[in-house]
Protein backbone atom coordinates (compact mmCIF):
# COMPACT_ATOMS: atom_id res chain seq x y z
CA UNK A 1 0.00 0.00 0.00
CA UNK A 2 1.46 3.37 -0.92
CA UNK A 3 2.15 6.00 1.72
CA UNK A 4 -0.70 8.51 1.06
CA UNK A 5 -3.34 5.76 1.18
CA UNK A 6 -1.85 4.31 4.36
CA UNK A 7 -1.71 7.81 5.85
CA UNK A 8 -5.38 8.36 5.02
CA UNK A 9 -6.47 5.03 6.49
CA UNK A 10 -4.46 5.41 9.69
CA UNK A 11 -5.66 8.99 10.14
CA UNK A 12 -9.28 8.07 9.41
CA UNK A 13 -9.28 5.11 11.81
CA UNK A 14 -7.54 7.01 14.58
CA UNK A 15 -9.80 10.01 14.20
CA UNK A 16 -12.79 7.67 14.01
CA UNK A 17 -11.90 6.18 17.39
CA UNK A 18 -11.02 9.37 19.23
CA UNK A 19 -13.75 11.63 17.84
CA UNK A 20 -16.56 9.10 17.93
CA UNK A 21 -15.76 7.79 21.41
CA UNK A 22 -15.36 11.30 22.79
CA UNK A 23 -18.65 12.39 21.30
CA UNK A 24 -20.47 9.22 22.44
CA UNK A 25 -19.18 9.43 26.01
CA UNK A 26 -19.95 13.15 26.25
CA UNK A 27 -23.45 12.81 24.83
CA UNK A 28 -24.17 9.83 27.05
CA UNK A 29 -22.98 11.67 30.17
CA UNK A 30 -24.96 14.77 29.20
CA UNK A 31 -28.20 13.19 28.05
CA UNK A 32 -28.28 9.44 28.70
CA UNK A 33 -30.32 9.22 25.51
CA UNK A 34 -29.77 6.36 23.09
CA UNK A 35 -31.37 8.40 20.30
CA UNK A 36 -29.05 11.36 20.89
CA UNK A 37 -25.95 9.14 21.00
CA UNK A 38 -27.05 7.28 17.86
CA UNK A 39 -27.75 10.55 16.04
CA UNK A 40 -24.37 11.85 17.16
CA UNK A 41 -22.54 8.80 15.82
CA UNK A 42 -24.18 9.02 12.42
CA UNK A 43 -23.72 12.78 12.21
CA UNK A 44 -20.05 12.62 13.21
CA UNK A 45 -19.45 9.70 10.83
CA UNK A 46 -20.65 11.75 7.86
CA UNK A 47 -19.64 15.31 8.75
CA UNK A 48 -16.26 14.51 10.27
CA UNK A 49 -15.40 12.06 7.49
CA UNK A 50 -15.84 14.89 4.99
CA UNK A 51 -13.96 17.32 7.24
CA UNK A 52 -11.02 14.97 7.84
CA UNK A 53 -10.86 14.02 4.16
CA UNK A 54 -10.68 17.68 3.15
CA UNK A 55 -8.07 18.30 5.84
CA UNK A 56 -5.87 15.48 4.55
CA UNK A 57 -6.46 16.62 0.97
CA UNK A 58 -5.29 20.16 1.71
CA UNK A 59 -2.41 18.92 3.87
CA UNK A 60 -1.16 16.57 1.15
CA UNK A 61 -1.44 19.33 -1.47
CA UNK A 62 0.39 21.78 0.78
CA UNK A 63 3.32 19.39 1.18
CA UNK A 64 3.86 19.61 -2.57
CA UNK A 65 5.40 16.13 -2.58
CA UNK A 66 2.52 14.05 -3.89
CA UNK A 67 0.96 13.55 -7.28
CA UNK A 68 -2.64 14.51 -7.96
CA UNK A 69 -3.55 10.82 -7.81
CA UNK A 70 -1.79 10.31 -4.44
CA UNK A 71 -3.57 13.33 -2.96
CA UNK A 72 -6.94 11.90 -3.99
CA UNK A 73 -5.98 8.43 -2.76
CA UNK A 74 -5.26 9.87 0.69
CA UNK A 75 -8.51 11.86 0.54
CA UNK A 76 -10.69 8.87 -0.29
CA UNK A 77 -8.85 6.58 2.13
CA UNK A 78 -9.43 9.08 4.95
CA UNK A 79 -13.08 9.58 4.06
CA UNK A 80 -14.04 5.93 3.77
CA UNK A 81 -11.99 4.69 6.73
CA UNK A 82 -13.44 7.40 8.98
CA UNK A 83 -17.00 6.92 7.72
CA UNK A 84 -17.03 3.13 7.90
CA UNK A 85 -15.18 2.86 11.18
CA UNK A 86 -17.26 5.53 12.93
CA UNK A 87 -20.40 3.74 11.80
CA UNK A 88 -19.25 0.50 13.48
CA UNK A 89 -20.10 2.20 16.79
CA UNK A 90 -23.77 2.15 15.76
CA UNK A 91 -23.87 -1.64 16.20
CA UNK A 92 -23.44 -1.84 19.98
CA UNK A 93 -25.79 1.13 20.49
CA UNK A 94 -28.47 -0.62 18.45
CA UNK A 95 -27.99 -4.01 20.11
CA UNK A 96 -27.47 -3.18 23.79
CA UNK A 97 -28.65 -0.94 26.58
CA UNK A 98 -26.80 2.40 26.31
CA UNK A 99 -24.45 2.04 29.28
CA UNK A 100 -23.32 -1.39 28.10
CA UNK A 101 -23.05 -0.11 24.51
CA UNK A 102 -20.73 2.68 25.68
CA UNK A 103 -18.50 0.16 27.50
CA UNK A 104 -18.42 -2.15 24.47
CA UNK A 105 -17.64 0.83 22.21
CA UNK A 106 -14.77 1.94 24.44
CA UNK A 107 -13.30 -1.58 24.41
CA UNK A 108 -13.76 -1.82 20.61
CA UNK A 109 -12.23 1.60 20.00
CA UNK A 110 -9.25 1.00 22.27
CA UNK A 111 -8.68 -2.39 20.65
CA UNK A 112 -8.60 -0.84 17.16
CA UNK A 113 -6.34 1.97 18.35
CA UNK A 114 -4.01 -0.62 19.95
CA UNK A 115 -3.95 -2.63 16.74
CA UNK A 116 -3.14 0.41 14.59
CA UNK A 117 -0.44 1.46 17.08
CA UNK A 118 1.04 -2.03 17.13
CA UNK A 119 1.18 -2.29 13.34
CA UNK A 120 2.70 1.18 13.02
CA UNK A 121 5.35 0.60 15.70
CA UNK A 122 6.24 -2.81 14.26
CA UNK A 123 6.53 -1.34 10.76
CA UNK A 124 8.76 1.50 12.01
CA UNK A 125 10.72 -0.93 14.22
CA UNK A 126 9.82 1.16 17.26
CA UNK A 127 8.96 0.23 20.81
CA UNK A 128 5.56 -1.44 20.41
CA UNK A 129 4.43 -1.16 24.05
CA UNK A 130 5.53 2.45 24.38
CA UNK A 131 3.64 3.38 21.21
CA UNK A 132 0.48 1.54 22.25
CA UNK A 133 0.50 3.01 25.76
CA UNK A 134 1.12 6.52 24.45
CA UNK A 135 -1.81 6.33 22.04
CA UNK A 136 -4.14 4.62 24.51
CA UNK A 137 -3.28 7.23 27.15
CA UNK A 138 -4.38 10.01 24.81
CA UNK A 139 -7.62 8.18 24.04
CA UNK A 140 -8.35 7.60 27.73
CA UNK A 141 -7.77 11.29 28.49
CA UNK A 142 -10.25 12.20 25.73
CA UNK A 143 -12.80 9.74 27.14
CA UNK A 144 -12.44 11.07 30.69
CA UNK A 145 -12.53 14.75 29.69
CA UNK A 146 -15.55 14.36 27.39
CA UNK A 147 -17.39 12.45 30.11
CA UNK A 148 -16.91 15.37 32.51
CA UNK A 149 -17.80 17.89 29.81
CA UNK A 150 -21.07 16.03 29.27
CA UNK A 151 -21.76 15.99 33.01
CA UNK A 152 -21.03 19.72 33.31
CA UNK A 153 -23.24 20.59 30.35
CA UNK A 154 -26.06 18.51 31.81
CA UNK A 155 -25.64 20.10 35.23
CA UNK A 156 -25.50 23.73 34.10
CA UNK A 157 -27.68 23.73 30.98
CA UNK A 158 -30.39 21.21 31.77
Q: CA separation (Å) from 64 to 50, 54, 58, 59, 68?
A: 22, 16, 10, 9, 10
pLDDT tens digit sequence for 92-150: 999 999 999 999 999 999 999 999 999 989 988 989 999 999 999 999 999 999 999 99
Q: 67: Cβ–Cβ under 8 A, 6 or more apart, which residues?
A: none
Q: How far, in whole angstroms, is CA 48 from its chain's centroid?
A: 9
| Domains of the chain by residue range | 3-152
Average pLDDT over residues 71-75: 92
pLDDT value, residue 94: 97
> In a 10 Å sphere around its CB, with 0-12 CB exposed, 13-18 middle and 19+ buried, how is residue 59 labelled?
middle
Rounded Cα–Cα distance for residues 41 and 86 (Å): 7
Q: What is the CA radius of gyration of the chain?
A: 17
pLDDT value, residue 64: 86
Rounded Cα–Cα distance for residues 53 and 79 (Å): 5
pLDDT tens digit sequence for 12-71: 899 999 999 999 999 999 999 999 999 999 999 999 999 999 999 999 899 888 888 989
pLDDT value, residue 1: 65
Is 0.85 topped by the overall pTM? yes
Q: How far, in whole angstroms, is CA 67 from its chain's centroid?
A: 27
Amino acid sequence: MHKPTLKGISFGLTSGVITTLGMMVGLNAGTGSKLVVLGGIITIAVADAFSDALGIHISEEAEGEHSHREVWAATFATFFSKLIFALTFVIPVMLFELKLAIIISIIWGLFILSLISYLMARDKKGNVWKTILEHLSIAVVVIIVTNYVGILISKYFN
